Amino acid sequence: MHEFSVTSQVVKSVLEDAERQRAKKVLEVHLVIGKLTLLGIEQLRFSYGMLVENTTMKGSKLFIELKEGKVKCDKCGYEGAINFKDDPIYHISFPTLTCPECGSSVKIIEGRECLIKSIKMEI
């Protein structure tokens, strides 16, 4: 369950920033999650709820913005969206992504992000 470790890192980063800012309370956390991270959003929310207990983040709202994936094919030059089925098996091993134009392997150029976009705190 890599969602728990990802969420642990997010919470740790937010708490460190809140401490630097001398925040009394964290009110909101806004994340950007790429669809090609294959992170389960409900698992992220569940982990977040557990991890913020007994911290200045308790009761804070978690907002998640999903970002579409984008790939590039070195063979034919295609750059754009890719269709894939989010199968639970991919949470164990990542699928091989192929170019929708020529069928060659592609590089992911967007959609693997997991970023803290903003934090709202009470100072």
Q: Look up residue 94 and give its DSSP letter.
A: P
Return the higher-pLDDT residue of 87 and 77. 77
pLDDT of residue 98: 85
The pairing of beta strand 61-67 with beta strand 25-34: parallel
Percent over 90 (pLDDT), the chain: 73
The owner of tokens 């699928």 is 95
64-77 pLDDT tens trace: 999 999 999 999 99
Q: Are 42 and 3 a contacting pair, CB within 8 Å? A: no
Domain coordinates in residue numbering, the chain: 2-122
pLDDT of residue 87: 54
pLDDT of residue 110: 93
Domain 2-122 listed as CATH 3.30.2320.80: yes
34-64 pLDDT tens trace: 988 888 999 999 999 999 999 999 999 999 9
